[in-house]
Amino acid sequence: ERSVRSGTPLSLVLLDLDNFKSINDSFGHNCGDRVLTAMAGALFGNKRLYDLAARVGGEEFALILPGSGLGQADGIAERLLAEIRQLRVTCEGVDDPVSFTCSAGLVCTRGRTPLSVERFVDLADKALYEAKAQGKDRVVNAPTPDLLDASQTTLVHAEEKQFLFTGPDT
């Protein structure tokens, strides 16, 4: 709502650790906890003062970026993934440090069209799923909701014009 009231962009990045179950199964839950802690540290270390970062599920995190358009948010997400690729976690009973990656789904609204929280999160979640489907360890951008709404409106107007000139389809 604040984004629409002020007409400023708002971005949401959903991040999910890749192959986290495998880390837990191979190295134990204590190691998995260390990976989660390292992931949270990277996330909190890369957020700006007015951004919001949170763990939202087992191995899923969210980063809310007020005032960030798609280009800026994508840059933040890509830098975060690059930093995570470089992280190494030492775990008891494991000879070599454990490395890990994560996938991210990004959605941005330009603040021009009201949008429910559910729809906003759903778009980011679908982009995250697509990042996993494309091979993981990447950011996928969701379609901009403001543009989706605009294209739907344009389509409706075009259909109305066609009806006025040609009548109903038979």
CA distance 32 to 89: 10
The CATH class that applies to domain 2-143 reads alpha beta
Q: In sequence order, what DSSP letters do the residues of 53-114 get, joined into one string?
A: EEE-SSSEEEEEEET--HHHHHHHHHHHHHHHHH--B--TT-SSPB---EEEEEEEE-SSS-
| 75 contact partners, CB below 8 Å, separation of at least 6 | none
Whether 59 is catalytic is yes
- The residue extents of the domains of the chain are 2-143
How large is the average pLDDT for residues 160-167? 49
Please identify which residue in the block is written with the tokens 């949401």. Answer: 12
What's the confidence (pLDDT) of residue 8?
81
pLDDT tier at 110, thresholds 50, 70, 90: confident
Residue-wise pLDDT tens digits, 8-37: 889 999 999 999 999 999 999 999 999 999
- Closest among 121, 152, 150, 148 to 14, alpha carbons compared: 121
Structure pTM? Answer: 0.82
Whether the predicted pLDDT of 130 surpasses 70:
yes
Q: Read off the pLDDT of each residue in 63-91 and give the average, rounded to a whole number.
A: 96
Tell me, what's the pLDDT at 4?
Answer: 53
Catalytic residue among 59, 60, 118, 130: 59
Q: What secondary structure letter does DSSP report for 167? A: -
**How is the beta sheet containing 102-109 ordered, strand by strand?**
52-55, 60-66, 10-17, 102-109, 139-141
Element (H, E) at 140: strand 139-141
The two structure tokens encoding residue 96: 């070599």
Please tell me the predicted confidence (pLDDT) of residue 147.
Answer: 53
Task: Give the pLDDT score at 6.
Answer: 57
* pLDDT grade for 5, boundaries at 50, 70 and 90: low
